[in-house]
């Protein structure tokens, strides 16, 4: 039975959360309120549109549709500036080791991310060539925790959903993987990601032996 492995981007492959934070903070400050790193935790795995809705709730601000669209655009322009110079040094530890192992074993690999900037980020850090399919915020109509992003990834890999494994750092992403009937692997705080079937702090904790077991099952 062929397995398919699906990776989230932010928090799993690279830490782009810090750049999202800077861009959202800049917008909040422009609008006259503060936005903390703790509040930024709420944004992980969440779509850009939903992030702005939450930000406006935090700042107790209303927006016309035109303002809303303008602020989403401004945030993204700033975010693109922050990620402009990303390179391979920003790849999270041991991620290339796992991707290379999967490639060596002919296991299809997909990206399943909420970000609309996923492909250029993979290009910048030099990992694009590992991916057989890229499903991101440009391809889905329903955000995580809806399973759409992962189901679409499985379809593109031509692998049954129940034969897929998902690496996720966000609660909504773990929920989406579980809803897709896939094996969910939480990367990060196991108390936060308690719904995941397996938990690891990061990829340095994941042995190639464990990966081998996953692809053999
Ligand atoms: P963009 P992931 C998510 O990436 C981020 O965690 C989340 O904070 C961000 O709002 C979302 O992508 C959309 O990103 O503004 O680039 O479209 O974790 O799903 O890879
Ligand atoms: Mg993530």
Give, for ligand 1, the residue of 20, 37, 138, 173 to mutate: max count of ligand atoms closer than 8 Å to Cβ.
Answer: 20
Q: Which of 62, 16, 55 is nearest to 39 (CA)?
A: 55
Task: Please tell me the predicted confidence (pLDDT) of residue 2.
Answer: 84
Which residue among 48, 78, 127, 149 is best mutated to probe the pocket of ligand 1, counting the most ligand atoms within 8 A of its Cβ?
Answer: 48
Please list the ranges in the chain whose pLDDT falls under 50.
none
CATH label, 4-14+88-216, candidates 3.40.50.1000, 3.30.70.1230, 3.40.50.720, 3.40.50.1450? 3.40.50.1000
**Ranges in the chain annotated CATH 3.40.50.1000:** 4-14+88-216
Q: Is the peptide bond before 146 cis (omega within 30 degrees of 0)?
A: no
Q: Where in the chain is the domain with CATH 1.10.150.240?
A: 17-83
pLDDT at residue 199, as a whole number: 98
The predicted pLDDT at position 217 comes to 67
> What's the pTM?
0.95
Q: Which tens digit of pLDDT belongs to each residue from 176-198?
A: 999 999 999 999 999 999 999 99
What architecture does CATH give domain 17-83?
A: Orthogonal Bundle (1.10)
φ and ψ at residue 16, rounded to 5 degrees: -85, -5
Distance (Å, whole) CA 107 – CA 30: 46
Q: Is the CB of 113 under 6 A from ligand 1?
A: yes
Annotated catalytic residue 8: yes
């Amino acid at each position: 039975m062929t397995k398919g492995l699906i990776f989230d981007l932010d928090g799993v492959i690279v830490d782009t959360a810090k750049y999202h934070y800077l861009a959202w903070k800049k917008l909040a400050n422009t609008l006259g309120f503060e936005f903390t790193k703790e509040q930024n935790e709420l944004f992980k795995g969440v779509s850009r549109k939903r992030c702005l809705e939450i930000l406006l709730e935090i700042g107790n601000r209303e927006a016309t549709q035109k303002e809303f669209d303008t602020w989403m655009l401004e945030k993204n322009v700033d975010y693109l500036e922050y990620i402009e110079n990303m390179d391979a040094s920003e790849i999270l530890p041991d991620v290339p080791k796992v991707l290379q192992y999967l490639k060596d074993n002919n296991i299809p690999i997909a990206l399943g991310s909420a970000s609309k900037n996923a492909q250029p980020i993979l290009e910048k850090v030099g990992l694009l060539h590992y991916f057989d399919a890229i499903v991101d915020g440009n391809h889905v109509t329903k955000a995580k925790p809806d399973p759409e992003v992962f189901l679409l990834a499985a379809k593109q890999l031509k692998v049954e959903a129940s034969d897929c494994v998902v690496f996720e750092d966000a609660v909504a992403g773990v929920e989406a993987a579980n809803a897709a009937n896939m094996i969910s692997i939480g990367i990060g705080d196991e108390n936060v990601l308690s719904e995941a079937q397996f938990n690891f702090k990061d990829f340095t904790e994941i042995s190639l032996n464990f990966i081998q077991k996953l692809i053999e099952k």
